[in-house]
A and B are shown apart, each in its own frame.
Chain A
Amino acid sequence: MITALWIMVALAALLGMILGYASIRFRVEGNPLAEKIDAVLPQTQCGQCGYPGCKPYADAIAKGEADINLCPPGGEEGIHKLAELLGVEFKPFGENAQPKPKAVAFIDEQTCIGCTLCIQACPVDAIAGAAKQMHTIIASECTGCELCVPPCPVDCISMLPIEEQLTNWKWRYPVYALRQTS
């Protein structure tokens, strides 16, 4: 009887130690919920949510400090994804946060004076150029965040909406005209 008891106690202690060790050895760095939230955010890094990037916004949602309807680039679908992930109700966009069609920045290279202010503003290093040289947007890397537009002293950056082309064309959801059947 006593031996059995001792065995159980020893086992419990051993398992406890193993678990304790595992929790230290295999600890997940960072906040796993925030990572999951960050994974569904669009990574435009535009700051329209009021946070300095997608990751800070994800952290704020994870801590319960921010609402899920603050990211316009994610669109309604983004809110749906967040709602599903967090198990909360869908919430429509507020008055001043409405999604816009996706765009990429374009620099009018004739006007650019090469001041590099836009480079400093771009969150994803999608602008190439050096001091006093004209600057160019690397379109494939531009997220359309618009952050480079206000700093430009000569207003030569414009946002061009991404037009539908053969390369990004999508089949539509089937819709059929209703026919009268009398």
Chain B
Amino acid sequence: MIRLHRFHGGIHPPTHKAESTRTPIMSAPLPAQLTIPFRQHAGEAAKPVVQVGERVLKGQLIGEPVGAISSSIHAPTSGTITAIDLQQIAHPSALPDLCATLVPDGLDEWGVRQTLSYRQLSSDELQKHLRRSGIVGLGGAVFPSDMKLRHPIVVDTLVINGAECEPYITCDDMLMRERAEAIVRGIEILRHALGTDAVLIGIEDNKPQAISAMQRAVDDSSHPFKVIAVPTVYPGGSAKHLIKVLTGVEVPSGKLPTDVGVQCYNVATAYAVHRAVEHGETLVSRVVTVTGNVEQPRNYEALIGTPFSDLVALSIPKADTNRYIMGGPMMGVELPAVNVPLVKASNCVIAASDALFPPPPAAMPCIRCTRCAQVCPVELQPQDLYWFAQSHNFGKAQEYDLFDCIECGACAYVCPSSIPLVQYYRYAKSEIRARDHEKRAADLARERHEFRQFRIEREKQEKAERLAQKERAAAAAKAAAEAAAAIPTPLEPNADAEDTQQMRIDAALARAKEQAATAHPRNTEALTPEQRAEIEAIEVRRAHIHSLAADAGADDEPPKNSQGN
């Protein structure tokens, strides 16, 4: 039996998980229209590679990755791309982003599915395959999964995150209950690629069915994985905290788990890896919890791009529902509209009403009770961070490790003054990021400006030097000529300078002419034999028309249809 560790703080909010785990995962019907954003992962958005009007097959690539941290986007079903434009997406800003609109043809016809035998694969090949298949972390961070294999540092422990600590969300729970065997196969692929032996699967002890299903699957597979029940405490599902609980290793501030020899994947990601490698299925659907103020809370397996409104309608929202939250009640964000599409990051949508989530009472001043500091899992001083953020003192906030805050909301949950602490932290973080960006832009501008001045100065000097040299040469030539001919010719005093001036202008004109000639190459040069043949055919036809026109008389039109032969 493995010894578990503890992390500082944490809270025990009501979990509300039972409601949505009563019925099995339901496959959502094909929607009338899908909207697929090209930015569904951390990093650079994908670049569209399909045309409007094109017919695509299920799983076909429609957006290819751009740059190192990026991923692929695929058509979730077969159908026609009817638009590629800006559409509203599930983002708290309510700003639109580039999306493809797909009208399904109802056939749900798969394109090419490339299956691989992972045992013969090198880690490199697997990374390429995951990137091509659009696999990203499905726990919510949507970080490209191939990047997590690319890390040069050796990993000795693979942690699989099945904790699912946030209230209401049950998609991972249901996936483990129903598809444990596939998850275990996915874990084995990741373990193989990382070349580790130790695999720890952490599941919170409020999911006994998931734990026993996973245990059974591991036993059946005879892999030496360890399924471990971890105590239920929010936010125990944060990667760094689960690693601490399972291994006792603390990931230092600003470091990645790989820096301490641990890599962490979510169970849903492991499942997607299995589907991608052993079935050749690109990431086109996911399991999502629809719960809260609805008649039938449940998990759906839905295509990426399905409007949330379709899913919510299946669960029948109650009359007093007045908003929707994507994610859990602690870290989720309010949807700008309910018809925005499901994305890879969407693990849950909660129908909210004022009765279910009463609006918080007006914020009161901080009384420095330090309850927030007692529950902060990162051992920050939330009251100080709040103080600096609300007074725009960003330097100080950074000094107090603002960027270590995981925005879990534990502090705001216990604050007796109901201060929306996390919102202050989000505000401060994005201001600091914007300032960093501005600072970098200013530094670049300074550099470029200084370089430009240096360049202008250098050009001036070079020009003066050239001029001086020419004058010297001219003077020497003149002196030589004078000496040779010994005939004194009367000269105007500054003829030399004028000469060189004239020389330069001539040279410039010649250059310009040359440039004009090269800038507009005649399009009759460098032709392929086919083009030449075509031109000849046209010339023949032209001669034919001329002769016809001459025959018919000068006032007649040349017959146009003679071109058709």
Judged by a CB distance under 8 angstroms, whether A88 is at the interface is: no
Smallest CB-CB separation from B44: which chain A residue? Answer: A167
Instruction: Judge whether A171 and B362 touch: CB under 8 Å.
Output: no
Complex: A126 Cα to B95 Cα, angstroms:
29
Instruction: Judge whether A141 and B95 touch: CB under 8 Å.
Output: no
A125-B452, A166-B91 given; A43·B97 CB < 8 A: no
User: Which residues of B are found within 8 Å of A25, using beta-carbon distances?
Assistant: none
A43-B442, A170-B434 given; A123·B449 CB < 8 A: yes
From B363, B443, B446, B512, contact of A176 by CB (8 A): B363
Looking at the assembled complex, report how far the CB atom of B76 sits from the nearest CB atom of chain A, in whole angstroms.
22
Instruction: Judge whether A171 and B452 touch: CB under 8 Å.
Output: no
Judged by a CB distance under 8 angstroms, whether A69 is at the interface is: no
Instruction: Judge whether A164 and B426 touch: CB under 8 Å.
Output: no
Instruction: Judge whether B427 and A43 touch: CB under 8 Å.
Output: no
Complex: A131 Cα to B515 Cα, angstroms:
10
Within B396-441, which residues are at the interface with A (CB < 8 Å)? 420, 423-424, 426-427, 429-431, 433-434, 437-438, 441
Instruction: Judge whether A125 and B39 touch: CB under 8 Å.
Output: no
Looking at the assembled complex, report how far the CB atom of A154 sits from the nearest CB atom of chain B, in whole angstroms.
20
Within A24-53, which residues are at the interface with B (CB < 8 Å)? 38, 41-45, 53
From A38, A44, A181, contact of B362 by CB (8 A): A181
Judged by a CB distance under 8 angstroms, whether B32 is at the interface is: no
Smallest CB-CB separation from A132: which chain B residue? Answer: B519
Smallest CB-CB separation from A179: which chain B residue? Answer: B362
From A42, A124, A165, A179, contact of B448 by CB (8 A): A124
Judged by a CB distance under 8 angstroms, whether B451 is at the interface is: yes
Complex: A133 Cα to B93 Cα, angstroms:
40
Instruction: Judge whether A169 and B95 touch: CB under 8 Å.
Output: yes
Instruction: Judge whether A42 and B442 touch: CB under 8 Å.
Output: yes
Judged by a CB distance under 8 angstroms, whether B479 is at the interface is: no
Within B63-120, which residues are at the interface with A (CB < 8 Å)? 91-93, 95, 97
Judged by a CB distance under 8 angstroms, whether A54 is at the interface is: yes
Instruction: Judge whether A171 and B427 touch: CB under 8 Å.
Output: yes
A170-B431, A171-B427, A174-B423 given; A53·B449 CB < 8 A: yes
Judged by a CB distance under 8 angstroms, whether B154 is at the interface is: no
Judged by a CB distance under 8 angstroms, whether A172 is at the interface is: yes
User: Which residues of A are found within 8 Å of B441, using beta-carbon distances?
Assistant: 43, 143
Within A129-182, which residues are at the interface with B (CB < 8 Å)? 131-133, 141, 143, 164-166, 168-174, 176, 178-179, 181
Judged by a CB distance under 8 angstroms, whether B535 is at the interface is: no
A132-B519, A165-B95, A174-B423 given; A45·B449 CB < 8 A: yes
From B362, B434, B451, contact of A125 by CB (8 A): B451
Looking at the assembled complex, report how far the CB atom of A73 sits from the nearest CB atom of chain B, in whole angstroms.
10
User: Which residues of A are found within 8 Å of B452, using beta-carbon distances?
Assistant: 123-125
Instruction: Judge whether A43 and B446 touch: CB under 8 Å.
Output: yes
Q: How many A-B residue pairs have CB under 8 A?
A: 75
Decide if the interface of chain A is mainly helix, strand, loop or mixed: loop
Instruction: Judge whether B423 and A126 touch: CB under 8 Å.
Output: no
Judged by a CB distance under 8 angstroms, whether B18 is at the interface is: no
Decide if the interface of chain B is mainly helix, strand, loop or mixed: helix
From A38, A53, A174, A181, contact of B420 by CB (8 A): A174
Complex: A88 Cα to B463 Cα, angstroms:
46
Smallest CB-CB separation from A173: which chain B residue? Answer: B427
A43-B443, A171-B427 given; A166·B449 CB < 8 A: no
User: Which residues of B are found within 8 Å of A164, using beta-carbon distances?
Assistant: 93, 95
User: Which residues of B are found within 8 Å of A178, using beta-carbon distances?
Assistant: 362
Instruction: Judge whether A38 and B446 touch: CB under 8 Å.
Output: yes
Q: Report which residue of A44, A123, A173 has the largest number of chain B beta carbons within 10 angstroms of its beta carbon.
A: A173
User: Which residues of B are found within 8 Å of A181, using beta-carbon distances?
Assistant: 362
Judged by a CB distance under 8 angstroms, whether B509 is at the interface is: no
A53-B449, A126-B448, A132-B519 given; A172·B95 CB < 8 A: no
User: Which residues of A are found within 8 Å of B468, using beta-carbon distances?
Assistant: none
Q: Mark B435-474, 1 if CB is under 8 A from A, else 0.
A: 0011001111110110110000000000000000000000
A125-B451, A125-B452, A176-B362 given; A143·B434 CB < 8 A: no
User: Which residues of B are found within 8 Å of A53, using beta-carbon distances?
Assistant: 449
From B362, B431, B444, contact of A141 by CB (8 A): B444
Smallest CB-CB separation from B446: which chain A residue? Answer: A43
Instruction: Judge whether B449 and A124 touch: CB under 8 Å.
Output: yes
Looking at the assembled complex, report how far the CB atom of B518 sits from the nearest CB atom of chain A, in whole angstroms.
12
Smallest CB-CB separation from A165: which chain B residue? Answer: B95
Complex: A42 Cα to B426 Cα, angstroms:
25
Instruction: Judge whether B426 and A171 touch: CB under 8 Å.
Output: yes
User: Which residues of B are found within 8 Å of A176, using beta-carbon distances?
Assistant: 362-363, 420
From A42, A54, A171, contact of B430 by CB (8 A): A171
Instruction: Judge whether A43 and B362 touch: CB under 8 Å.
Output: no
Complex: A38 Cα to B438 Cα, angstroms:
14
User: Which residues of B are found within 8 Å of A141, using beta-carbon distances?
Assistant: 444-445, 448
Instruction: Judge whether B449 and A171 touch: CB under 8 Å.
Output: no
Complex: A168 Cα to B17 Cα, angstroms:
36
Q: Report which residue of A41, A43, A178 has the largest number of chain B beta carbons within 10 angstroms of its beta carbon.
A: A43
Instruction: Judge whether A174 and B424 touch: CB under 8 Å.
Output: yes
Instruction: Judge whether B93 and A166 touch: CB under 8 Å.
Output: yes
Looking at the assembled complex, report how far the CB atom of B179 sits from the nearest CB atom of chain A, in whole angstroms.
33
Looking at the assembled complex, report how far the CB atom of A148 sits from the nearest CB atom of chain B, in whole angstroms.
13
Footprint of B on A, CB under 8 Å?
Answer: 38, 41-45, 53-54, 123-126, 131-133, 141, 143, 164-166, 168-174, 176, 178-179, 181
Can you report 14 A-B residue pairs in the complex whose CB atoms are below 8 A from each other? A43-B442, A45-B449, A53-B449, A123-B452, A126-B448, A131-B512, A132-B516, A141-B445, A169-B95, A171-B423, A171-B427, A171-B429, A173-B427, A176-B420
The 3 closest A-B CB pairs, nearest first, are A43-B445, A170-B430, A43-B442
